[in-house]
């Protein structure tokens, strides 16, 4: 049941416990208990809402961060520190030409640029940053923007 429940919640976090109960053939109380358990254990970190903002009232940037690691100070230290800033929406350690990949949000270009200059670039272990401002979103977390869901099938067919 856990795998099926997680799949259904990932697809639609707003699905009600009673719908889940019907689909999975159990009771709403058991569903609630299972979700609480998964939240508590950290398997479910949270539920997000995806806005079709596309840069109208906020600015998003992908920030590449190059890091030098010293004894006793690994990637985790700087990664965890950067993740604490509310401006940082995603923070990933990745392989390749740079080390950390941040998704940063702000109200204006200046806002984001200031954040990167004053909060990220100044960290002792950060050796360099490259900021890419986001121009347009086509897909986020598996959802395609502007996609119309309409059933094109005949209403009755053999």
Partner 1 sequence: MKIPSNKILETIPPSGIRKFFEIVAENPDVISLSVGEPDFDAPWSVREAAIAALENGATHYSANRGSSELRGAIAKYFARKFGVAYSPEKEILVGNGASEIFDLVVRSVLNPGDEVLLFAPSYVMYAPLVALAGGTPIFVQKISEIAKKISPKTKALVFGYPSNPTGATFTKSELTKIAALVERNNLLAISDEIYAELSYETKHISFASLPKMKAQTATISGFSKAFAMTGFRLGYLLAPENLVAAANKIHQYCALCANSISQVAAIEALENCDAEVAKMRAEYKLRRDFCVRELRKMGFTVQKPAGAFYLFPNIRKRTGLSGDDFALNLLKKERVAVVPGSAFGAEFADHIRISYATGLAELETAFERMAHFVQSLK
Region from 15-23, 49-57, 65-73, 122-130 binding partner 1, contact rule CB under 8 A: 15-23
Among 2, 22, 107, 132, binds partner 1 (CB under 8 A): 22
* Structure-token pair, residue 104: 């940063």
Residue with tokens 């997680």: 6
CA atoms within 13 A on the CB side of 63: 31
Q: Between residues 23 and 48, which has the closer beta carbon with respect to partner 1?
A: 23
Among 1, 23, 94, 143, binds partner 1 (CB under 8 A): 23
Inter-residue contact 65 to 131 (CB < 8 Å): no
Mask: binding to partner 1, 93-132, rule CB under 8 A, as x and -?
Answer: ----------------------------------------
Handedness of CA 5, 139, 149, 154 (dihedral sign): negative
Per the rule left: phi > 0, alpha: psi between -120 and 50, beta: everything else, 50 is: beta
Interface with partner 1 (CB under 8 A), residue from 2, 4, 37, 73: 4
Instruction: Name which position in 40, 71, 148, 155 contacts partner 1 (CB under 8 A).
Output: 155
Q: Shortest gap between Cβ of 27 and partner 1 (angstroms)?
A: 13
Write out the H or E segment, with its range, that includes residue 82: helix 75-83
Q: How many residues bind partner 1 (CB under 8 A)?
A: 13
Q: Tell me: does residue 135 bind partner 1 (CB under 8 A).
A: no
Could you give phi then psi for residue 98, rounded to 5 degrees? Answer: -135, 180
């Amino acid at each position: 049941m856990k795998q099926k429940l997680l799949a259904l919640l990932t697809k639609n976090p707003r699905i009600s416990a009673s719908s889940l109960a019907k689909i999975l053939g159990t009771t709403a109380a058991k569903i609630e208990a299972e979700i609480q358990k998964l939240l508590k254990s950290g398997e479910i970190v949270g539920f997000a809402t995806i806005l079709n903002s596309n840069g109208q009232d906020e600015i998003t940037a992908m920030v590449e961060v190059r890091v030098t690691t010293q004894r006793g100070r690994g990637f985790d230290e700087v990664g965890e520190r950067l993740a604490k800033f509310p401006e940082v929406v995603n923070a990933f350690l990745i392989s390749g030409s740079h080390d950390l990949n941040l998704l940063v949000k702000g109200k204006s270009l200046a806002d984001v640029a200031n954040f990167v200059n004053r909060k990220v670039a100044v960290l002792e272990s950060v050796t360099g940053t490259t900021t890419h401002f986001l121009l347009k979103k086509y897909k986020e977390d598996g959802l395609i923007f502007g996609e119309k869901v309409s059933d094109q099938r005949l209403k009755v067919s053999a």
